[in-house]
């Protein structure tokens, strides 16, 4: 049986960003600046838990991880399960 790392360690993902909040905020600011003027709707491939998508106002998130998509959906993000 193959266990995908983000299925197994999904809770560690968000915890890491909580512990390194300054880095998270810095990354959010950089993406916000870089995305100015890009027309909507926005799609994030590899959305994970929606940690970045929700504050950035991304419209739809795609990810292969059921566990991460469940968190993203609870955060209010429209999600699609897919892998490529």
Record the pTM: 0.80
Question: Where in the chain are the domains?
Answer: 5-81
Region label for 27, one of left (φ > 0), alpha (ψ between -120 and 50) or beta (otherwise): alpha
- The whole-angstrom separation of Cα 1 and Cα 13 is 22
Q: Answer yes or no: is pLDDT of 4 > 80.
A: no
* Distances 6 to 30, 48, 83 between C-alpha atoms, Å: 24, 8, 13
pLDDT digits (tens, 9 = 90+) for 66-84: 989 999 999 999 999 998 7
For the domain 5-81, what is the CATH code? Answer: 3.40.50.150
């Amino acid at each position: 049986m193959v266990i995908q790392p983000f299925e197994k360690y999904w809770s560690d993902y968000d915890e890491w960003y909580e512990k390194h909040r300054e880095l998270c905020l810095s990354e959010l600011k950089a993406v916000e600046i870089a995305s100015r003027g890009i027309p909507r709707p926005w799609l994030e491939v590899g959305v994970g838990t929606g940690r970045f998508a929700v504050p950035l106002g991304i419209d739809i998130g795609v990810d292969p991880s059921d566990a991460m998509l469940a968190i993203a959906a609870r955060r209010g993000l429209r999600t699609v399960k897919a892998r490529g």
